[in-house]
């Protein structure tokens, strides 16, 4: 393992501490009396306190030092004075341990007394301290110039996502995002629980991937010797519980879809789904807008939120627009009664990319997604979807070509989806069979399975029910003004991290030439490098072994190519 100079120095300090009989990673519990927030909110001059946290800054001035300690709730200033800490002749604890062997990033515990500095800063005067954990790698803390301006902060998105632990430690605003995420889940739970609905858990490993149109992740159960699928949705299991007699159930579920990644999609995401018996989608619309108004207030203290250049208000009620009217408004095309070929032609005329595998439902979805969706900024319910788009949704009571479904659009994105649930087992079987036809036609998002156990459950009878699904990651994006889903996930999926390759000076020369042009004729780049035959051979061999370059033989000769 290649260590930096700072990392080597910290390991030397670690060894010195152990030689002095100081355990840099003590096992004993450390009982603190206050957090930084509690100290500030209940500050009493002269009060004795015990605090713990990470050392994040210090200014040593001889026998005195001001420093900052950071815990889970913020930062507090602490004051080290050699003679207050070391009251006898032995000044080792201050002169050696504190000044020389502690580093920024170390965790320490402090016993001290509260006082206010001459400039009015609430501070803890340290009477004693102990090392709780030695940090062997320096934190990527921002630096400040003489004017107090910060620079060299830890802002590279890829590094922040890969090293979220460091990101949280040095960027306080990031921690606030996840506190709000937690507040959102709590607010939603409280809203449901207050109405008597029960939180449940359903399987993540499923024998049939159902409840949505998506490509699943596949695994294998060795003991049962059967393929299993990571959950794409929990809908069908929650409906089974309604069949079983629960009047209202909800679940925050981790779902997995083996599809593309972008700023609003992650293959692993969190959804909330709730199902309430004896309700329909009209009731669910009102329920949803009241729920989101409640959540916005609990998370931000206001129903208003800013997202990129948009300002939205989650206060109920929300506008309602049918899908047919939305498409007419933004394209002039009426989808009512149109055949698959008519829809495909219309989509092509609109400049959309469509193919023969797409049925009516997917064609309509493509038209709406490309031409209409982005226009809905304020929370808007898009209602009454064509039947082909909603295989689990009840037929509309007034129009057999439509379903009783809505999606909630905010800032041009869908964040909620709800139905009057289909509870006719014969109709449901026919819808599943139609999905099979689409799958055979080549639609890789149509379900390839019929969940016969779910059909059996419906045959026992499911009461009229309405269900709602909300993408929790996307909702918190809107409530915290984060345009990237990776910002609101602690550990988003990333490509494997490339290990840093150490190159010799000769290898660097050749690599720089290849970055300017690749491939290059071998003799030409060898000449341009200015290396001797021996050094050239060694450099090329090294670059090939480190997978940085390759030498290809062609009819025109030997060429060196950058990998």
Residues annotated in a binding site for Mg(2+): 407, 414
**Which of 153, 106, 235 has its CA nearest to residue 97?**
106
Secondary structure (3-state) at 66 = strand
Pairing of strands 248-256, 198-199: parallel
Burial class (CB in 10 A: 0-12, 13-18, 19+), 157: exposed
68, 56 contact by CB (below 8 A): yes
Query: Residues annotated as binding site?
Result: 407, 414
Alpha-carbon distances, residue 334 vs 327, 344, 396, 516 (angstroms)? 7, 13, 18, 54
Determine how β-strand 122-133 pairs with β-strand 74-81.
Answer: parallel
DSSP code string of 490-505: SS---PPPPPPPP--H
Q: Report which of 235, 233, 445 is spatially closest to residue 359, judged by C-alpha positions.
A: 445
| SS3 state of residue 125 | strand
What distance in Å separates the CA atoms of residue 460 and residue 462, rounded to the nearest whole number?
7
- How many of the other CB atoms lie within 10 Å of CB of 520? 18
In the chain the first and final C-alpha atoms are separated, in Å, by 24
> Rounded CA gap, 556 and 491, in Å?
49
Backbone angles phi, psi at 133, to 5 degrees: -165, 125
Alpha helix positions (H), 205-315: 235-243, 281-300
């Amino acid at each position: 393992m290649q260590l930096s100079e700072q990392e080597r120095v910290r390991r030397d300090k670690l060894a010195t501490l152990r030689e002095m009989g100081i355990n840099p990673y003590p096992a004993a519990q450390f009982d603190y009396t206050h957090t930084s927030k509690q100290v500030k909110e209940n500050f009493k001059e002269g009060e004795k306190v015990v605090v713990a946290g990470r050392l994040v800054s210090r200014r040593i001035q001889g026998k005195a030092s001001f420093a900052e300690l950071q815990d889970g709730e913020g930062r507090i200033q602490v004051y080290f004075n050699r003679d207050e800490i070391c009251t006898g002749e032995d000044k080792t604890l201050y002169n050696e341990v504190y000044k020389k062997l502690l580093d920024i990033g170390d965790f320490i515990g402090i016993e001290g007394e509260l006082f206010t500095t001459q400039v009015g800063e609430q501070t803890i005067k340290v009477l004693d301290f102990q090392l709780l954990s030695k940090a062997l790698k320096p934190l990527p803390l921002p630096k400040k110039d003489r004017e107090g301006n910060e620079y060299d902060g830890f802002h590279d998105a890829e590094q922040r996502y890969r090293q979220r632990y460091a990101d949280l430690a040095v960027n306080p605003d990031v921690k606030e995002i996840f506190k709000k995420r937690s507040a959102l889940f709590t607010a939603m739970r409280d809203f449901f629980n207050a109405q008597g609905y029960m939180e449940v858990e359903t399987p993540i490993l499923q024998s049939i991937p159902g409840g949505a149109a998506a490509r699943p992740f596949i695994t294998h159960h060795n003991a049962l010797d059967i393929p299993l699928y990571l959950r794409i949705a929990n809908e069908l299991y929650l409906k089974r519980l309604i069949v079983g007699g629960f009047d209202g159930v909800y679940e925050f579920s981790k779902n997995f879809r083996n599809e593309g990644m972008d700023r609003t999609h992650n293959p692993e995401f969190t959804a909330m789904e709730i199902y309430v018996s004896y309700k329909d989608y009209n009731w669910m619309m009102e329920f949803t807008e009241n729920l989101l108004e409640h959540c916005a207030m609990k998370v931000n203290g206001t129903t208003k939120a800013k997202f990129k250049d948009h300002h939205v208000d989650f206060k109920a009620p929300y506008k309602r627009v049918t899908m047919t009217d939305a498409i007419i408004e933004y394209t002039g095309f009426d989808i009512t009664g149109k055949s698959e070929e008519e829809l495909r032609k219309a989509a092509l005329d609109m400049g959309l990319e469509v193919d023969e595998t797409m049925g009516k439902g997917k064609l309509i979805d493509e038209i709406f997604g490309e031409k209409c969706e982005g226009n809905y900024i304020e929370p808007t319910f898009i209602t009454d979807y064509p039947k082909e788009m909603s295989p689990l949704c009840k037929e509309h009571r007034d129009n057999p070509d439509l379903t009783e479904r809505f999606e909630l659009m905010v800032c041009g994105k869908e964040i909620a989806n709800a139905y009057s649930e289909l509870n006719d087992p014969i109709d449901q079987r026919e819808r599943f069979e139609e999905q099979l036809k689409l799958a055979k036609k080549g639609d890789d998002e149509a379900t390839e399975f019929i969940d016969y156990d779910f059909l059996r459950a419906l045959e026992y009878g499911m009461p009229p029910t309405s269900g709602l699904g909300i993408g929790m990651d996307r909702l918190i994006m809107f409530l915290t003004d984060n345009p990237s889903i990776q910002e609101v996930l602690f550990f988003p999926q990333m490509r494997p991290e490339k290990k840093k390759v150490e190159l010799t000076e000769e290898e660097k020369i050749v690599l720089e030439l290849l970055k300017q042009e690749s491939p290059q004729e071998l003799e030409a780049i060898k000449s341009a490098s200015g290396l001797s035959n021996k050094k050239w051979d060694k450099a090329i061999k090294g670059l090939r072994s480190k997978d940085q370059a390759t030498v290809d033989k062609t009819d025109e000769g030997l060429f060196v190519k950058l990998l």
